[in-house]
Amino acid sequence: MNARAPLLPKGPRRLAGGLKAGKLPAPLLAKLLARTEHKDHRVLTGPGVGRDAALISFGATTLIAKTDPVTFVTDLIGWYAVQVNANDIAVSGGDPKWLLATVLLPVGSTPKLAETIFEQVSKAAGNLDVELVGGHTEVTIGVPRPIVVGMMLGEAHADATLTAGGARPGDVLILTKGIAIEGTAILAREAAQRLRAAGVARTVINRAAKYLFDPGISVVREAKAARSVGGVTAMHDPTEGGLATALAELATASGYGVEVDVGAVLVLPETRAVCEALRADPWGLIASGALLIAAGPEWAEAVVGAVRAIGVHAAVIGRVTPKNRGLVLRRGGRRAPLPRFERDEVARLLEHG
């Protein structure tokens, strides 16, 4: 694989010992965030590892604020930016309402590219009843491909908000759809030639590319369905670093451990085919489209049933444990540590080809 040409233009070379493409390592991020001061008592939830959004009190209503960039893809980038930000509003217990978008275009971009991105943003926002209220656009020196940074605001009743830190020992962990949905679609769209060369059928690649819409990377509907029955203590939107990273983030945010049954985690056929062809691990592949839910054990059946009632797959995959139990995967009678990924598998593949 390393001998093949990279999929996307190379950026500045990474210095030896420097950071790699993808999220900052969690320990470094925690160190940086520890330096921030919190003076406004209305900030209920500020920045932290595993936290999906900020929660700011306005009395009976809580404002939910989120920002997330889209940097891995060029296709449908404006549509992506809306979905990933709306997801984090939804898993925080709120309804997505307002969007600001910063669009950075490479030098030499055509007006048509700008028009296409704005059409994608407008259509995706309209489908979610989200209003585009502002942002910024520019043609930027040194940017090899378009980048869209979304900033979304939502609102929730003060008693309805959730964070990834709400999970408690004994809670069950529920996963919707399957893992690596977004990563599968990205690789099918960006690496179709490589996949064909590796023997993956065109029909499989085409189905994988459509994962953006079916089963889809939005979790807004299932988050609302899960919240409607009660008993949910935490929700988290697995993104970069895949389900493995999302589980570690939820554990970090809550201060407890997790134990997950590998056999209960759904890996869709196209995901398996794409990952095997490119030697990628689906557990570390960007996973928007899946929703990780923690709920009291007595509520598990109701939550799973509510999600399935809207036509979305859901299953119990594990449980929250005391911190001293660690982060564990269970395969039959065997137990192993939860895998850790220094960065997302998509970032690794796109950087090195």
Are 260 and 317 in contact by the 8 Å Cβ rule? The answer is: yes
- Which DSSP letter does residue 211 get? G
**Helix, strand, or coil here: 326?**
coil
For 154-204, the pLDDT digits (tens) are: 999 999 999 889 999 999 999 999 999 999 999 999 899 999 999 999 999
Has residue 342 got a pLDDT over 50?
yes
Task: Give the residue range(s) of CATH 3.30.1330.10 domains in the chain.
Answer: 38-157
Q: What pLDDT shows up at residue 35?
A: 85
The band of 348, judged by pLDDT with boundaries at 50, 70 and 90, is: confident
Distance CA 181, CA 239 (A): 10
Going by DSSP bridges, is the β-strand pair 61-70/147-157 parallel, antiparallel, or unpaired? antiparallel
Q: What pLDDT shows up at residue 352?
A: 59
CB under 8 Å to 207, separation ≥6 — which residues? 270
- Element spanning 184, H or E: helix 181-190
The band of 353, judged by pLDDT with boundaries at 50, 70 and 90, is: low
The band of 333, judged by pLDDT with boundaries at 50, 70 and 90, is: confident
Distance CA 66, CA 154 (A): 9
Percent of the chain's residues with pLDDT above 90: 75
Q: What pLDDT shows up at residue 46?
A: 80
Tokens of 106: 């490479």
Per-residue pLDDT, averaged over 303-315, amounts to 98
Higher per-residue confidence, 341 vs 5: 341
For 255-294, the pLDDT digits (tens) are: 999 999 999 999 999 999 999 999 999 999 999 999 999 9
The CATH code belonging to domain 164-352 is 3.90.650.10
For 35-69, the pLDDT digits (tens) are: 888 788 999 888 877 677 899 999 999 999 999 88
Percent of the chain's residues with pLDDT above 70: 93
Are 4 and 188 in contact by the 8 Å Cβ rule? The answer is: no
- DSSP assignment of 269-294 equals HHHHHHHHHHT--GGGS--BTB-EEE
Q: 215 preceded by cis ω (within 30°)?
A: yes
**CA 325 to chain centroid:** 26
Q: What pLDDT shows up at residue 40?
A: 87
Has residue 6 got a pLDDT over 80?
no
CB-CB neighbours of 144 under 10 Å:
13
- Which DSSP letter does residue 238 get? -
For 125-141, the pLDDT digits (tens) are: 999 999 999 999 999 99
Provide the β-strand partners of residue 148.
Answer: 70, 103
Half-sphere exposure of 35 (CA within 13 A, CB side): 4
Task: Give the residue range(s) of CATH 3.90.650.10 domains in the chain.
Answer: 164-352
CATH 3.30.1330.10 fits 38-157, yes or no: yes
The band of 4, judged by pLDDT with boundaries at 50, 70 and 90, is: very low
